[in-house]
Amino acid sequence: MIVHAYRIALLALTLASTPAHAEIHKCRQGDRVVYQELPCPTGSQPLAPPEAPPSPSAYDVEQARARAKNDIAEAEALRKRDEKTDKALERSRATIRKQETDCARLLEKIENAETKVNLRKSQKSTLNSDKRKYRKVCGPL
């Protein structure tokens, strides 16, 4: 009697359980495409269900891994190149800022010296030297 009850319960569970692999139906309803588990309703156009893509071969997998490895290496090389370029640009900008600051200080020194009425010989010599340096490094006065 107990064995018979187990068999009935097992049969009921088997019949009540959903299948592990449900069928998919692809239907066109107007201008929309609908995927559903139930067959297409009346008035809709059944379409061929989507096919599963084939599994890639071991060769294809290895080729993809090799391409990915190469892509990663190329990306790393580009990142390092960009990093070097950024550092070089920053050094260049820092040099330009320093030159602009140095030129501004030198011009201020020249203007201060030119405002003085009586310059000694050594001050005139320094002024002329500063003017030459300014023209050489910074451009015309």
pLDDT digit string, tens, across residues 12-23: 555 555 555 667
**Alpha-carbon span 31 to 111, nearest angstrom:** 81
**Alpha-carbon span 101 to 132, nearest angstrom:** 17
Amino acid at 76: E
Q: What confidence tens digit (pLDDT) does each residue in 80-134 have?
A: 999 999 999 999 999 999 999 999 999 999 999 999 888 888 998 999 999 999 9
Q: Where are the beta strands (DSSP E) in the chain?
A: 25-29, 32-36, 45-47
Structure tokens at 104: 């501004």
From residue 119, give the alpha-carbon distance in Å to each of 21, 124, 141.
102, 6, 20
Q: What is the DSSP letter of 30?
A: T
Cβ-based neighbour number of residue 76 at 10 Å:
10
* Average pLDDT, rounded, for the chain: 85
CA diameter of the chain: 130
Is there a contact between 123 and 113 (Cβ–Cβ < 8 Å)?
yes
